[in-house]
Amino acid sequence: MKLDIYDHFHKDEREFVDRAWEWVVNAGQYHELKLTDFLDPRQRFILESLVNRHPDAHALYLGGHDRAERVRALIAPDYRDLHHEDFKMKVLSITSGDQKFLELEHGDYMGSILGLGIKRSKIGDIHVHEGGCHTVVTEDISSYLHLNLSQVHKVHVMTELLPLDQLKIAVTNFEEMDITVSSMRLDGIASDAYRISRTKIVVPIKAGRCRVNWKVEEDPSTNLKDGDVVSIQGFGRFKILETGGLTKKGRYRIKVGKYA
C-alpha cells in the first residue's frame, strides 16, 4: 500500500506521506483524533488524498478564515462530527506606534517569530496591515510569543492575543507585470518575473529549490498555467494571474503577480 502511495508524490515528500498516512490509519482503525500543526497547501493536498483512500477516516481543515493558505487539520474516525471541535488557534496581534513600522513586510514578521525558536509549522497565515499585523498561531506557543516578541526588524512592538473571530484579514498585494514569452515554460516565465537570465534561473530549479503549487519542481521545461503559484528559494513568489492571446510574433501574453 505504501509503495503505491509513494508513486503519486515527490521523493522529498515521503517523510510527510509516512506521517500523514499514520494519522489517517490511527483515526480510521484505532479511533484516534489527530490535530496537526499548520499545513501548507501541498501538505493539505497530500493529506486529503490519503484520507480519501481510507473508508473509515475523515478530516476538517481550518486556518482562521475561508481562504486561508495555511490550515490545521483535524483527522478523526468518520462517525465523529468535527464542526464544533476546538482547533486551538489564537491571533497574535502585533502593533507599534513607530512610523517605521509601516515599512515592515511579511518576511520581517516571519523572521522575528522564527528567531525566537518557533517552528514554521506553528504559524499560520500572516496578515500585514498598515500599522500592524495579525498572525494566526497554534495555541500552545501563543503565550510564549506574547511574552517574548518585543522587536520586529529593529522596531519595538507590542503584542496582544485575540480570539479567531477578531482576525483582520489582509488583501494579498501583487506587483503586476505584463510579459511576453515564447512558451509557457517555467524557466522562461521565471526568468522574466525575477528579471534575471534564463541560465541563472535554471540553477536553483535543478537544485530542487523551486516549488510549483507548493510541490518541488526540478524540470525547467515544465509548462505553467493560469493560477499556478511559483516560489524559488531566495527569489520570492509569483502567480500566473492571466494568460492572454498571442502577439503578432507568436509570443504568449502573460500577466504575472509578484507577492509583495
Q: What is the pLDDT of residue 99?
A: 58
Residues 67-91: pLDDT tens digits? 999 999 999 999 999 999 999 999 9
Query: Please, which residues have CB within 8 angstroms of residue 195's CB and are 6 or more apart in sequence?
Result: none
Q: What is the pLDDT of residue 232?
A: 95
Please list the residues that pair with 184 across neighbouring strands: none
pLDDT confidence tier of residue 105, bands split at 50, 70 and 90: confident
Residues 147-199: pLDDT tens digits? 999 999 888 999 999 999 999 998 777 889 999 999 999 999 999 999 999 99
Q: Does domain 2-77 have CATH number 3.30.1370.160?
A: yes
The Cα 133–Cα 23 span in angstroms is 33
The Cα 36–Cα 91 span in angstroms is 17
pLDDT confidence tier of residue 104, bands split at 50, 70 and 90: confident
The Cα 225–Cα 89 span in angstroms is 34
CB-side neighbour CA atoms (13 Å) of 224 = 32
- State how beta strands 132-138 and 252-259 pair: unpaired
Query: Please, which residues have CB within 8 angstroms of residue 217's CB and are 6 or more apart in sequence?
Result: 186, 205, 210, 211
Q: Which fold has domain 89-166?
A: Alpha-Beta Plaits (3.30.70)
Give CB contacts under 8 A, 24+ apart, made by 143-152: 144/116, 144/118, 145/92, 145/113, 145/116, 145/118, 146/92, 148/116, 149/92, 149/94, 149/112, 149/113, 149/116, 151/112, 152/94, 152/96, 152/101, 152/104, 152/108, 152/109, 152/112
* Cβ-based neighbour number of residue 17 at 10 Å: 20
pLDDT confidence tier of residue 97, bands split at 50, 70 and 90: low
What distances in angstroms separate CA 191 from CA 186, 188, 223, one per listed residue? 8, 5, 14
- Specify burial of residue 223 (Cβ count, 10 A radius: 0-12, 13-18, 19+): exposed
pTM confidence score? 0.84
Query: Please, which residues have CB within 8 angstroms of residue 73's CB and are 6 or more apart in sequence?
Result: 34, 35, 36, 39, 44, 47, 59, 60, 61
* Residue 45, helix vs strand vs coil: helix
Which is more confident, 58 or 107? 58
Average pLDDT score over the chain: 92
The Cα 87–Cα 38 span in angstroms is 11
Q: What is the pLDDT of residue 114?
A: 95
For every residue of 60-117, DSSP letters joined together read: EEESSSTT-SSEEEEEEETTS--TT----EEEEEEE-S-GGGGG--HHHHHHHHHTTT
Q: What is the pLDDT of residue 82?
A: 96
Q: In which residue ranges of the chain is CATH 3.30.1370.160 found? A: 2-77
Q: In which residue ranges of the chain is CATH 3.10.290.10 found? A: 174-259
Q: Does domain 174-259 have CATH number 3.30.930.10?
A: no
C-alpha cell at 8: 503519486
Q: In which residue ranges of the chain is CATH 3.30.70.330 found? A: 89-166
Q: What is the pLDDT of residue 2?
A: 54
- Average pLDDT for 52-63: 96
pLDDT confidence tier of residue 37, bands split at 50, 70 and 90: very high
